[in-house]
Amino acid sequence: MNLDRRDIAPFALKWFPTLVDATSDEWHFFLDKVTGLTTPLDMGNGQAFDRWRAELAKQGYAAFDYTDANIAAAKAKADAMVLAEQRRVASLPGTLDALKVEAPNWTAAEVVASMKG
């Protein structure tokens, strides 16, 4: 388990540039002080960073890249991807029927090779 709090520096230095040379413990206690949290020293970075990020986000820091607009865009793209996959799956029987006519004696390897070229 990683406990070196300096790993948060690339993420947080944009807000706290004075911590550029801070030690792991200095990062830890600074972030606890800024967020009002009490984070155990032996808590893994993943959990500790998530807690601090959530509190920083509540204070107005852009601690997460999610906005209503990019969430909506991601959902719309996911909808389009699902439709594309459904169309691909629906076309499979037709593709197999066409292959039976075009290449009735081809091996699976030959079929795959023909798709690459």
| List of residues 6+ apart from 64 with CB closer than 8 A | 53, 57
Residue 91 lies in a domain: yes
Give percent above pLDDT 90 in the chain. 60
- Asked if residue 76 and residue 51 are part of one domain, the reply reads no
The whole-number average pLDDT for the span 82-102 is 84
Position 47: which residue type? Q
Total domains, the chain: 2
The reported pLDDT for the residue numbered 47 is 96
Residue 115 pLDDT > 90: no
Residue 5's Cβ-count burial label (10 Å; 0-12, 13-18, 19+) is buried
Question: Are both 48 and 10 inside the same structural domain?
Answer: yes
**pLDDT class for 117, splitting at 50, 70, 90?**
low
